[in-house]
Amino acid sequence: IEFTSDADAALLRGEFCLHYQPLVSLCTSQVEGYEALLRWNHPDHGLMRPDRFAEVLVAEKIGLRIQEHVLELALSWLREHGDRVGMLSVNFTSAQLSGPRAARRVLDRLAHHGVPPSSLCVEVTEGVMLDRAADTILATLRALHAAGVCIALDDFGTGFASLVHLRQMPVDRIKIDRSFVAGIDEHDDGGTLAIVRAIIGLGRGLGKVVVAEGIETEAQAHRLRQLGCQLGQGYLYGRPQPELVDAGPPEMAA
Ligand code: G
Ligand code: G
Ligand code: NA
């Protein structure tokens, strides 16, 4: 652990916040939604990304409370901005999805904020399927999906046994990890492009929406578009920002 902290006090002081990154249609470049990304605005260490403080949250056993705070911030943001922002994707952890009341909790918060379930996309990695509570996590995802919440499988292709999980999980979207996207520029060795093509083919063949992360160049966007990837996010389109940056008129879902 890089620094000592009091995450609990930081939470009360409002130092945990969300930044929002646009997801765009690769065909039209229109904004279709956003992903909420957790940040710790620390008075001494500045703005920190989750990889820098994840250990602190585990050590201080505050992960679940932070996640509840994340959901509240995300739903407040959705309520504030309404229809013009499309769907908001929020990263969920295993702990948050475990237990018999997990789905009810999320649906209650949606109802409390008056946000329709279809405005929320729950992002999970396939790692949740390796959790001891995988059975209840799967039941939670199914209940959320049945209620109209979108489910996205994050970092696809970087874990184990992806195909088995893909068949079991109620997944609407597959997100191609940015490590793959980084490899399909002009200097592609052939291997990465083949993997990306296969992931898009698999996703589309199963009727999923495929999202590419970490798009930084027009060349990457062009290739992904050619391969049939529908949605993208990355610095080419917009960095995560603490406020909504106006990206033009509201658009309809694809
Ligand atoms: O923006 P970026 O550096 O923040 O994200 C780094 C990692 O942190 C990503 O893998 C992302 O999935 C994860 N992350 C982003 N937001 C959240 C969140 O609200 N909760 C958790 N647990 N992880 C998050
Ligand atoms: O949840 P996930 O693992 O998808 O987190 C997305 C991460 O990728 C965040 O850390 C976010 O800040 C980062 N990110 C978003 N767009 C880009 C990009 O175009 N390039 C790079 N290198 N990172 C990005
Ligand atoms: Na994510």
Question: In this predicted model, which residue has the larger pLDDT, 254 or 222?
Answer: 222
Residue 204: count of CB within 10 angstroms of its CB: 16
DSSP state of 184: T
CA of 215 to the centre of ligand 2 (A): 9
With a 6 Å cutoff on the Cβ, whether 91 touches ligand 1 is yes
Mutating to test ligand 2, I would choose from 17, 19, 37 the residue with most ligand atoms within 8 A of its C-beta, which is 37
Mean pLDDT of all residues belonging to the chain: 92
* pLDDT over threshold 80, residue 68: yes
What does the buried/exposed string (b/e) look like for 150-182 if buried means 16 or more CB atoms within 10 Å of the residue's CB?
bbbbbbbbebeebeebbeebebebbbbbbebbb
Q: How confident is the model over 151-197, as pLDDT tens digits?
A: 999 999 887 656 888 888 999 999 999 999 999 976 667 789 999 99
Please identify, in words, the CATH class of the domain defined by 7-232: alpha beta
pLDDT of residue 185: 79
* pLDDT over threshold 90, residue 2: no
Specify the ligand 1 atom closest to the Cα of 36. Answer: 16
* pLDDT over threshold 50, residue 253: no
ipTM: 0.94
